[in-house]
Amino acid sequence: MLLASPADASLKKASAEACLVLDEPVDAWGYLRDLIRGEQAAEADLLHLIVLCAGSSVDLFRTISSHILSLPSRWLDQPEVVFALAESACRAGLLSEAVGGYRRAASLVPEAASICHAAIRSLGARAAEIGQVEDAATLAEALLDVGETAAATEGLHRAGVASRVGAILTVAEGKHLERKVPPGEPGAQLAAEERGVRAGDAHRAA
C-alpha cells in the first residue's frame, strides 16, 4: 500500500509503528523523517512516534535531534516539540539534555510549568543511572529549582557521589541563585563570581 501511495502520511506512521513493534527504531525514523514539515504545526501522534524512536538509543537521539534542530525555528519553538525532545532524551538516558528541555518547555508555556516540574521530579528516581558528576549536579540544580532540596541530596547519594554531595550541592545552589537574579541586577555579578569560586571548590573536592 505504501508503494502505491508513497506520500500518504497515515501509511508512513503505520509503517513506523510496525517497525517499532519489531524493535527497529532506525527504520521507523526513516518513515517519519519526511513527515516533519518545519512550516507546519507538530502533530501529537507524530511527536509520540518521534519520542519512541529518539528515546531508543543515544545515537538515534543525536541523529533525530540534529535533524529537528536544523528545521526552521517555527517548528522547534513549539512547546510540544521541546517537551517531546526532553522526553526522548530522558528515555535515552541523557539526563542533562532532558532537564534542559523540560526547563525550556516550562519557560515557553508558564501555565504548563507544573507538568515540566513533575517530569524533573521524576528524574530524581533515576539518580542511580547517572554516570557523570556533572549530570548529578545538573539534576540537583533542577530539583532545587522546583523546591526539592531533599530529593536533590538523596539523588546525589544514590548516584554514588556521597562523598562530594556538599561540594556538588554548593555549585548547584550557586547556579540556582544565579538563575534567580536578573542580569544587570546588583547581585548578578556577585552570584556569578560566587559560582566560579564554588565550582573550583567542587573540582578540588572531586
pLDDT in tens, 75-125: 888 999 999 999 999 999 888 899 999 999 999 998 888 999 899 888 877
Q: Note the pLDDT tens digit of each residue in 116-145.
A: 989 988 887 766 566 666 777 778 778 877
User: Does position 183 have pLDDT exceeding 90, yes or no?
Assistant: no
Q: Which residues of 80-112 are buried (b: 16+ CB within 10 A; e: fewer)?
A: bbbbbbbbbbbbbbbbbbbbbbbbbbbebeeee
Pick 158 or 139 by higher pLDDT.
139
Pick 47 or 176 by higher pLDDT.
47
